[in-house]
């Protein structure tokens, strides 16, 4: 099981998450919400729990718990800027359906 990071995502994690917020990396997860079932969550990773997996690339770290990893396996984490909007984007090969607004998904 694996999560890939683009160089752009890694730079954002290093520059924003670690440098400004004092964590060790980004915590990527999922929660049950929305019209399609799940939504991605992003938070500062301050430590690694017993049920967590650590993924590192380009001098940046992403922490994912084992429950979320089942839904995220094979995903690529990117960071994109579209006009005034800046956000992490997950390219998840497990997604079968996505809601119209793109905020929730099902597998």
CATH of the domain at 68: 2.60.300.12
Count up the domains in the chain and report the number: 1
Q: How far apart are CA 38 and CA 15, in angstroms?
A: 28
- Model confidence, pTM: 0.87
Structure-token pair, residue 94: 């497990």
**pLDDT tens per residue, range 60-91:** 999 999 999 999 999 999 999 988 989 999 99
Q: Look up the domain containing 64 and give its range.
A: 4-106
């Amino acid at each position: 099981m694996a999560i890939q990071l683009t160089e752009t995502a890694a730079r954002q994690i290093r520059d924003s998450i670690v440098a400004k917020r004092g964590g060790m990396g980004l915590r990527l997860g999922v929660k049950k919400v929305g019209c399609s079932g799940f939504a991605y969550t992003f938070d500062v990773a301050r430590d690694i729990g017993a049920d967590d997996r650590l993924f590192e690339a380009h001098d940046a770290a992403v922490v994912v718990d084992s429950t979320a990893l089942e839904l995220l396996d094979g995903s690529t984490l990117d960071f994109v800027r579209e006009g005034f909007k800046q956000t992490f984007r997950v390219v998840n090969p497990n997604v079968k359906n996505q809601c119209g607004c793109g905020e929730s998904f099902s597998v």
